[in-house]
Structure 1
Amino acid sequence: MLREGSADNTMASYRSAIQYWAAWHQLRMRRALALPVAVDTVLQFIADHVEHLEGQALVHDLPAEVDAALVSAKVKRRPGPYKLATVRHRLAVLSEAHETRSLPNPCRDRAVQAVLERTRSAYAKRGVRSARKDALTREPLERLLATCDESLAGLRDRALLLFAWASGGRRRSEVVRATMENTRRVAEGYLYTLAYSKTNQEGVARADSHKPVVGRAALALDAWLAAAGITTGPLFRRVRRGGVIGEGLSAEAVRKIVQARAAQAGLEGDYAAHSLRSGFITEAGRQGLPLGETMALSNHASVASVIGYHRAGEALSSRGGRLLDGEPQAAERPRP
């Protein structure tokens, strides 16, 4: 039940992290991974994977032969240090593994916490920020849509991009769970009922569970469903050779569609499925949509996680940034 009730992406990321810990521990510590892990081992893991200054050069402590072996074992994509966010995720997974077994948790040790705190400060001083996917605001989104022709794949991708963006910036897992059964036709277009999401994992009925798919998004969905002959099951499906409609898309397929369309459109930057979500929120801020209404559509539970994108959009239309663009106005003299 714990596995079934967990998000697929979360389970995959946890599995990947533990596999890496096991491989690193075997190669670096020369023995199999066993819980609880020693504090010194966790500190060595941090030193192996984050960059620190040695003279004028940035280095990390992972031996080259161990690094190469990890890449060869396909538990690491490329040699070199990890991003700080990846190291923190690996530590969070190890911490959870200890907590669920009620074992002494080395990740909560004062020495580990102190090193992580100073590491974050060091990275911040170097100007290193957490990498975010570029946001697909309205202008770049239009360029993606322009690459979608009238073929079955083109109709599907246009409908998918508009559905995900215009319904509030849907997560890719939410896009692939959209079906004919939870997407109801109404006079204005469609209402997609989001019964389960990252912020509503218990499926509690909420007033904001219904997401509008209207205007261009509804027309694009109409065209795709009619051309594909879909009347039940997943909305977005594979298109096989010869125009054969296959099974529902995976979350990974959504990411690949966004990246492929971005490449076709000639967009410079790093785009993925999350770009639709961040793009919607940024554009909402740019066009002055209230934060509360934006969050109701996007299903963000925390203001802290959405405010950055929303304010980024607002900043572009700030009057304060254009104070020198207009004619200066003479100050009104105070009346005697």
Structure 2
Amino acid sequence: MAGPVGAGDARLVNPCADPLVRELLARTRRAYAQRGVRQNKQRALTKDPLQQLLATCDKSPKGIRDRALLLFAWTTGGRRRSEVTSARIEHLQKVEEGAYVFTLGHSKTNQSGELRPEDAKPLVGSAAAAMQDWLAILAKDGIKEGPIFRRIRRGGHLGEPLAPAAVRDVVKERCAAAGIEAEGFSAHSIRSGFVTEAGQQAMPLAATMALSGVRLISVQKVTVRIASNGAGVPA
């Protein structure tokens, strides 16, 4: 599975090294310290643990769904759980073999739901293949529109759309199957994991913000965590 878009380009500038970013980070740390705010110990689902979770997804309908869900949520910028469960088949456009464009509709950062250029998110490679496998199961059950991710009943029959809380359940169940301590992992771990991985791979701040939709202060907080953990940037 490929890393964040542009992560392999050695010419990209490490955002942690930018003097302006360093100053903003320092101010952020001081502000939180003065307010007595402790950093959230929630764990980020970065690339390595994500791959471990994906390895537990078999060829059963549930395995195919969970693989598609995890890859969709992570590779399109770390989508919020509400964005994952509200995603509809109509929002997916197959642009070529092995490539889709997902159009994000109503969200926390787009309350009106109006179409904007930045709401188009690429879905390619293994994520596109996983989505194609899941769409085939939906089509076999006669579902060609509506919410993408649905409950799976006994016998493999598809049910109602997943509730937002189900994204957390998928993460925790796959952690347990992979032998990973699930404590600290949640649906938000997908979002923070993508942003954290982007920082570790020296993906430019502007690109991270555009794909994920996170605000600058959120990226700064993640960058502080990367720096404090001693995570380096690939050579």
Greater relative contact order (Cα 8 A, min sep 6): structure 1 or 2?
A: 2
User: Gaps spanning 5+ residues in structure 2: where?
Assistant: 1-31
- The 1-side partners of 2:117 and 2:41 are apart by 31
Q: Relative to 1, partners in 2 of residues 1:121 and 1:284: Cα closer, same or farther, differing over 3 Å?
A: closer
Note the aligned Cα RMSD (angstroms): 2.2
User: Gaps spanning 5+ residues in structure 1: where?
Assistant: 1-119, 320-336
Q: Relative to 1, partners in 2 of residues 1:149 and 1:303: Cα closer, same or farther, differing over 3 Å?
A: same
- The 2-side partners of 1:215 and 1:144 are apart by 18
Alignment partner, residue 208 of structure 2: 294
Question: Deviation at 1:270?
Answer: 1.2
Say yes or no: does 1:305 pair with 2:214. Answer: no
Alignment partner, residue 271 of structure 1: 185
Is the 2:85–2:149 Cα contact (8 Å) retained in structure 1? yes
Alignment partner, residue 223 of structure 1: 133
Counterpart of 1:234 (choices 147, 153, 167) is 147
Alignment partner, residue 82 of structure 2: 173
Is the 2:58–2:64 Cα contact (8 Å) retained in structure 1? yes
Alignment partner, residue 149 of structure 1: 58
TM-score by length of structure 1 reads: 0.55
Question: Deviation at 1:318?
Answer: 4.8
Counterpart of 2:122 (choices 207, 212, 215) is 212
Alignment partner, residue 69 of structure 2: 160
Question: Deviation at 1:227?
Answer: 2.5
Alignment partner, residue 12 of structure 1: none
- The 1-side partners of 2:218 and 2:118 are apart by 18
- The 1-side partners of 2:93 and 2:223 are apart by 29
Question: Deviation at 1:150?
Answer: 0.6
Amino acid at match of 1:191: V
Say yes or no: does 1:244 pair with 2:153. Answer: no
Is the 2:138–2:144 Cα contact (8 Å) retained in structure 1? no
Question: Deviation at 1:311?
Answer: 5.0
Alignment partner, residue 232 of structure 2: 317
SS of match in other structure, 2:222: helix
Per-residue deviation, residues 252-287 of structure 1 (Å, max 9, x unmatched): 111111111112112134101000000000101111
Per-residue deviation, residues 44-98 of structure 1 (Å, max 9, x unmatched): xxxxxxxxxxxxxxxxxxxxxxxxxxxxxxxxxxxxxxxxxxxxxxxxxxxxxxx
TM-score by length of structure 2 reads: 0.77
Alignment partner, residue 194 of structure 1: 104
Identity %: 51
Is the 2:105–2:113 Cα contact (8 Å) retained in structure 1? yes
- The 2-side partners of 1:193 and 1:121 are apart by 39
Is the 1:286–1:313 Cα contact (8 Å) retained in structure 2? yes
Alignment partner, residue 95 of structure 1: none
Aligned residues, how many? 197
Question: Deviation at 1:166?
Answer: 0.4
